[in-house]
Chain A
Amino acid sequence: MLTRWNDVGFGGLGREWSALDDLRSQMDRLLLDFERGWETGQDSGRGARWMAGTGWPRVGLYDTGPELRLRAEVPGLSEKDLEISVEQSSLTIRGQRKTEAPEGYAIHRQERGNRAFARSFTLPCRIDTEKATAKLKNGVLEMVLPKVAEEQPRQIQVQVS
Protein backbone atom coordinates (compact mmCIF):
# COMPACT_ATOMS: atom_id res chain seq x y z
CA MET A 1 0.00 0.00 0.00
CA LEU A 2 3.04 2.28 0.05
CA THR A 3 3.02 4.74 -2.78
CA ARG A 4 6.36 6.28 -3.55
CA TRP A 5 6.50 10.00 -3.01
CA ASN A 6 7.77 12.10 -5.83
CA ASP A 7 8.05 15.76 -6.44
CA VAL A 8 5.85 16.76 -9.33
CA GLY A 9 7.92 16.66 -12.47
CA PHE A 10 9.79 13.57 -11.41
CA GLY A 11 6.68 11.54 -10.76
CA GLY A 12 6.60 8.00 -12.02
CA LEU A 13 10.09 7.99 -13.43
CA GLY A 14 11.43 5.59 -10.89
CA ARG A 15 13.90 5.40 -8.10
CA GLU A 16 17.00 6.52 -9.99
CA TRP A 17 15.44 9.93 -10.48
CA SER A 18 15.43 10.69 -6.80
CA ALA A 19 19.21 11.13 -7.06
CA LEU A 20 18.60 13.84 -9.64
CA ASP A 21 16.08 15.36 -7.33
CA ASP A 22 18.68 15.59 -4.58
CA LEU A 23 21.13 17.04 -7.03
CA ARG A 24 18.62 19.72 -7.90
CA SER A 25 18.24 20.62 -4.24
CA GLN A 26 21.98 20.83 -3.84
CA MET A 27 22.24 23.04 -6.91
CA ASP A 28 19.61 25.32 -5.41
CA ARG A 29 21.74 25.68 -2.33
CA LEU A 30 24.94 26.17 -4.26
CA LEU A 31 23.28 28.91 -6.25
CA LEU A 32 22.02 30.45 -3.06
CA ASP A 33 25.48 30.48 -1.49
CA PHE A 34 26.77 32.07 -4.64
CA GLU A 35 24.05 34.70 -4.63
CA ARG A 36 24.70 35.52 -1.02
CA GLY A 37 28.41 35.79 -1.63
CA TRP A 38 27.74 37.99 -4.58
CA GLU A 39 25.54 40.24 -2.50
CA THR A 40 28.45 40.97 -0.21
CA GLY A 41 29.86 43.46 -2.65
CA GLN A 42 26.59 45.32 -3.04
CA ASP A 43 23.94 47.04 -1.00
CA SER A 44 26.41 48.12 1.64
CA GLY A 45 24.15 50.83 3.02
CA ARG A 46 24.46 49.44 6.51
CA GLY A 47 28.15 48.75 6.42
CA ALA A 48 30.31 45.77 5.68
CA ARG A 49 29.13 42.18 5.73
CA TRP A 50 31.00 38.93 5.90
CA MET A 51 29.99 35.70 4.38
CA ALA A 52 30.56 33.09 7.02
CA GLY A 53 31.33 30.25 4.64
CA THR A 54 29.00 27.48 3.58
CA GLY A 55 27.65 24.49 5.44
CA TRP A 56 25.04 23.96 8.09
CA PRO A 57 23.68 25.97 9.73
CA ARG A 58 23.60 28.84 7.29
CA VAL A 59 25.14 31.81 9.06
CA GLY A 60 25.40 35.52 8.30
CA LEU A 61 27.51 38.00 10.24
CA TYR A 62 27.10 41.74 9.77
CA ASP A 63 28.48 44.94 11.13
CA THR A 64 25.85 47.59 11.85
CA GLY A 65 28.36 50.11 13.24
CA PRO A 66 27.91 49.99 17.03
CA GLU A 67 27.45 46.21 17.05
CA LEU A 68 27.95 42.97 15.18
CA ARG A 69 24.96 40.82 14.39
CA LEU A 70 24.94 37.13 13.76
CA ARG A 71 22.04 35.24 12.26
CA ALA A 72 21.99 31.45 12.03
CA GLU A 73 19.23 29.28 10.60
CA VAL A 74 18.79 26.36 12.97
CA PRO A 75 15.38 24.83 12.23
CA GLY A 76 14.27 22.23 14.76
CA LEU A 77 16.66 23.28 17.50
CA SER A 78 15.45 24.55 20.85
CA GLU A 79 17.49 26.72 23.19
CA LYS A 80 18.51 23.54 25.03
CA ASP A 81 20.11 22.14 21.89
CA LEU A 82 22.38 25.16 21.44
CA GLU A 83 25.54 26.08 23.27
CA ILE A 84 27.12 29.44 22.57
CA SER A 85 30.39 30.65 23.95
CA VAL A 86 31.71 34.09 23.26
CA GLU A 87 35.05 35.71 23.91
CA GLN A 88 36.16 39.22 23.09
CA SER A 89 37.06 38.39 19.53
CA SER A 90 35.74 34.92 18.87
CA LEU A 91 32.44 33.11 18.97
CA THR A 92 31.57 29.41 18.94
CA ILE A 93 28.16 27.90 18.35
CA ARG A 94 27.52 24.23 18.98
CA GLY A 95 24.32 22.39 18.47
CA GLN A 96 22.66 19.14 17.74
CA ARG A 97 19.36 18.13 16.30
CA LYS A 98 17.79 14.75 15.87
CA THR A 99 15.42 13.97 13.04
CA GLU A 100 14.67 10.31 13.56
CA ALA A 101 11.44 8.83 12.30
CA PRO A 102 8.71 8.90 14.95
CA GLU A 103 8.11 5.48 16.42
CA GLY A 104 6.06 3.17 14.25
CA TYR A 105 6.54 5.18 11.08
CA ALA A 106 8.16 3.93 7.90
CA ILE A 107 10.63 6.24 6.17
CA HIS A 108 9.93 7.37 2.61
CA ARG A 109 12.41 10.14 2.35
CA GLN A 110 14.99 11.63 4.68
CA GLU A 111 16.76 14.77 3.54
CA ARG A 112 16.90 16.81 6.72
CA GLY A 113 19.29 14.54 8.53
CA ASN A 114 20.68 14.50 12.04
CA ARG A 115 22.96 17.42 12.48
CA ALA A 116 25.67 17.98 15.00
CA PHE A 117 27.74 21.04 14.37
CA ALA A 118 30.31 23.33 15.93
CA ARG A 119 31.22 26.55 14.22
CA SER A 120 33.75 29.09 15.36
CA PHE A 121 34.12 32.61 14.09
CA THR A 122 36.92 35.06 14.54
CA LEU A 123 35.21 38.39 14.96
CA PRO A 124 36.52 41.40 13.06
CA CYS A 125 36.59 43.53 16.23
CA ARG A 126 36.42 43.16 19.99
CA ILE A 127 32.99 42.93 21.56
CA ASP A 128 31.53 43.55 25.00
CA THR A 129 30.72 39.98 26.03
CA GLU A 130 28.63 41.15 29.02
CA LYS A 131 26.16 42.86 26.73
CA ALA A 132 25.96 40.14 24.10
CA THR A 133 22.47 38.72 23.65
CA ALA A 134 20.99 35.77 21.77
CA LYS A 135 17.43 34.88 20.96
CA LEU A 136 15.77 32.11 19.05
CA LYS A 137 12.64 32.60 16.97
CA ASN A 138 11.06 30.43 14.28
CA GLY A 139 14.22 28.35 14.04
CA VAL A 140 16.52 31.35 13.60
CA LEU A 141 19.17 32.31 16.14
CA GLU A 142 19.83 36.05 16.28
CA MET A 143 22.75 37.40 18.25
CA VAL A 144 23.59 41.01 19.01
CA LEU A 145 27.24 41.58 19.91
CA PRO A 146 27.91 45.19 20.93
CA LYS A 147 31.43 46.38 20.23
CA VAL A 148 33.67 47.55 23.06
CA ALA A 149 33.78 51.31 23.48
CA GLU A 150 37.16 51.69 21.73
CA GLU A 151 35.82 49.93 18.64
CA GLN A 152 32.71 52.08 18.32
CA PRO A 153 32.59 54.20 15.21
CA ARG A 154 33.35 57.87 15.91
CA GLN A 155 32.04 60.90 14.20
CA ILE A 156 34.76 63.37 13.40
CA GLN A 157 33.72 66.96 13.21
CA VAL A 158 35.28 69.00 10.47
CA GLN A 159 36.51 72.33 11.82
CA VAL A 160 35.91 75.29 9.64
CA SER A 161 38.57 77.92 10.09
Chain B
Amino acid sequence: MEAENTTLTHRQSPSIDQPDEAQAITITPRVDIFENQDEILLVADFPGVAKDALSVQLDRSELVIEGTQTANEHQAQPRLAFSRTFRVPHTVDPNGVSAELTQGVLKVHLAKSEAAKPRRIEVSASDS
Protein backbone atom coordinates (compact mmCIF):
# COMPACT_ATOMS: atom_id res chain seq x y z
CA MET B 1 0.00 0.00 0.00
CA GLU B 2 2.99 2.23 0.43
CA ALA B 3 3.21 2.80 -3.27
CA GLU B 4 -0.16 4.52 -3.28
CA ASN B 5 1.02 7.28 -1.03
CA THR B 6 2.77 9.59 -3.41
CA THR B 7 2.80 12.64 -1.21
CA LEU B 8 5.61 14.98 -2.05
CA THR B 9 6.38 17.85 0.25
CA HIS B 10 8.57 20.84 -0.48
CA ARG B 11 7.97 22.88 2.64
CA GLN B 12 10.60 25.51 3.01
CA SER B 13 8.52 28.26 4.45
CA PRO B 14 9.21 29.07 8.11
CA SER B 15 7.95 32.61 7.65
CA ILE B 16 4.53 31.47 6.49
CA ASP B 17 3.67 30.52 10.03
CA GLN B 18 4.84 33.76 11.60
CA PRO B 19 2.18 35.56 13.61
CA ASP B 20 2.34 38.74 11.53
CA GLU B 21 1.03 36.79 8.56
CA ALA B 22 -2.42 37.80 9.78
CA GLN B 23 -1.80 41.26 8.31
CA ALA B 24 -1.31 39.91 4.82
CA ILE B 25 -4.16 39.97 2.30
CA THR B 26 -4.40 36.74 0.36
CA ILE B 27 -4.97 36.97 -3.38
CA THR B 28 -4.94 34.55 -6.31
CA PRO B 29 -1.73 34.89 -8.33
CA ARG B 30 -1.93 35.07 -12.09
CA VAL B 31 -0.54 32.00 -13.82
CA ASP B 32 0.46 30.72 -17.23
CA ILE B 33 0.39 26.98 -17.86
CA PHE B 34 2.32 25.40 -20.71
CA GLU B 35 2.90 21.82 -21.73
CA ASN B 36 5.24 19.91 -24.00
CA GLN B 37 6.03 16.23 -24.42
CA ASP B 38 8.17 16.04 -21.31
CA GLU B 39 6.59 18.34 -18.77
CA ILE B 40 3.91 20.74 -17.69
CA LEU B 41 5.28 24.17 -16.87
CA LEU B 42 3.45 26.48 -14.51
CA VAL B 43 4.53 30.12 -14.31
CA ALA B 44 3.12 32.41 -11.61
CA ASP B 45 3.66 36.03 -10.55
CA PHE B 46 4.91 36.22 -6.95
CA PRO B 47 6.30 39.78 -6.67
CA GLY B 48 8.11 40.59 -3.44
CA VAL B 49 8.19 37.00 -2.21
CA ALA B 50 11.56 35.66 -1.06
CA LYS B 51 12.51 32.03 -1.61
CA ASP B 52 12.17 31.13 2.06
CA ALA B 53 8.60 32.49 2.20
CA LEU B 54 7.49 30.32 -0.68
CA SER B 55 5.87 26.91 -0.60
CA VAL B 56 5.21 24.47 -3.44
CA GLN B 57 3.39 21.32 -2.39
CA LEU B 58 2.12 18.39 -4.38
CA ASP B 59 -0.20 16.08 -2.52
CA ARG B 60 -1.49 13.31 -4.76
CA SER B 61 -3.21 15.27 -7.52
CA GLU B 62 -3.36 18.63 -5.74
CA LEU B 63 -0.68 21.22 -6.30
CA VAL B 64 -0.62 24.16 -3.89
CA ILE B 65 1.56 27.21 -4.47
CA GLU B 66 1.78 29.76 -1.67
CA GLY B 67 3.97 32.69 -0.75
CA THR B 68 3.97 35.79 1.42
CA GLN B 69 5.65 39.08 0.60
CA THR B 70 8.63 40.18 2.63
CA ALA B 71 7.70 42.79 5.22
CA ASN B 72 9.13 46.20 4.40
CA GLU B 73 9.68 48.69 7.18
CA HIS B 74 8.72 51.61 4.97
CA GLN B 75 5.79 49.88 3.43
CA ALA B 76 2.66 51.12 5.07
CA GLN B 77 0.49 49.07 2.71
CA PRO B 78 -0.68 45.66 3.84
CA ARG B 79 1.46 42.81 2.62
CA LEU B 80 0.15 40.36 0.09
CA ALA B 81 0.01 36.61 0.36
CA PHE B 82 -0.48 34.55 -2.77
CA SER B 83 -2.20 31.19 -2.75
CA ARG B 84 -3.61 28.95 -5.44
CA THR B 85 -4.48 25.28 -5.74
CA PHE B 86 -4.54 23.22 -8.93
CA ARG B 87 -5.62 19.74 -9.84
CA VAL B 88 -2.72 18.05 -11.55
CA PRO B 89 -3.21 15.34 -14.19
CA HIS B 90 -2.18 11.84 -13.17
CA THR B 91 0.43 11.86 -15.90
CA VAL B 92 2.70 13.94 -13.67
CA ASP B 93 5.53 12.09 -11.93
CA PRO B 94 5.37 13.13 -8.24
CA ASN B 95 9.13 12.75 -7.96
CA GLY B 96 9.80 14.88 -11.00
CA VAL B 97 8.68 18.25 -9.64
CA SER B 98 11.08 21.16 -9.39
CA ALA B 99 10.59 24.88 -8.81
CA GLU B 100 12.63 28.04 -9.35
CA LEU B 101 12.05 31.67 -8.38
CA THR B 102 13.55 34.53 -10.35
CA GLN B 103 12.58 38.23 -10.42
CA GLY B 104 9.39 37.53 -8.52
CA VAL B 105 8.25 34.85 -10.96
CA LEU B 106 7.78 31.26 -9.82
CA LYS B 107 8.27 28.46 -12.32
CA VAL B 108 7.15 24.93 -11.42
CA HIS B 109 8.28 22.13 -13.69
CA LEU B 110 6.07 19.05 -13.48
CA ALA B 111 7.75 16.22 -15.34
CA LYS B 112 5.51 13.63 -16.91
CA SER B 113 5.92 10.01 -15.93
CA GLU B 114 7.65 7.84 -18.52
CA ALA B 115 4.40 5.97 -19.21
CA ALA B 116 2.65 9.22 -20.11
CA LYS B 117 5.20 10.41 -22.66
CA PRO B 118 4.41 9.81 -26.30
CA ARG B 119 6.18 6.81 -27.76
CA ARG B 120 7.22 6.14 -31.26
CA ILE B 121 6.10 2.73 -32.33
CA GLU B 122 8.22 1.01 -34.89
CA VAL B 123 6.32 -0.73 -37.59
CA SER B 124 7.89 -4.00 -38.51
CA ALA B 125 7.35 -5.20 -42.00
CA SER B 126 7.12 -8.93 -42.43
CA ASP B 127 6.22 -9.06 -46.11
CA SER B 128 9.66 -8.54 -47.56
Contact = CB atoms under 8 A, between A and B. Distances in A.
A102 B41 contact: yes
Contact of A76 (B31, B33, B84, B105): B105
A106 B27 contact: no
Which 3 pairs between the two chains have the least Cβ-Cβ distance?
Answer: A139-B104, A3-B89, A75-B104
Contact of B41 (A36, A105, A138): A105
Interface string A55-94: 0001010101000010101111110000000000000000
Interface of B: 25, 27-28, 30-36, 40-41, 43-50, 62, 70, 72, 74-78, 80, 84-87, 89, 91, 101, 103-105, 116, 118
A112 B45 contact: yes
A29 B26 CA distance: 10
Given A32-B25, A76-B45, A105-B34, 5 more contacts: A5-B33, A46-B74, A106-B34, A107-B32, A110-B32
A15 interface: no
Contacts of B86: 5-8
Interface residues of A, number: 52
A74 B104 contact: yes
Interface in A1-28: 1-3, 5-9, 11, 24-25, 28
Contacts of A46: 74, 76
A35 B89 CA distance: 36
Nearest to A63: B76
Contact of B28 (A11, A24, A78, A107): A24
A7 B46 contact: no
Given A1-B116, A25-B30, A73-B104, A105 B78 contact: no
Given A76-B103, A139-B45, A140-B47, A102 B30 contact: no
B34 A102 contact: yes
A81 B87 CA distance: 34
A101 interface: yes
Query: Which of A64, A101, A108, A139 gathers the greatest number of chain B CB atoms within 10 Å?
Result: A139
Contact of B32 (A43, A109, A136): A109
Given A35-B78, A73-B48, A108 B103 contact: no
A139 B32 contact: no
A22 to B, nearest CB: 10
A75 B35 CA distance: 22
Contacts of B49: 138
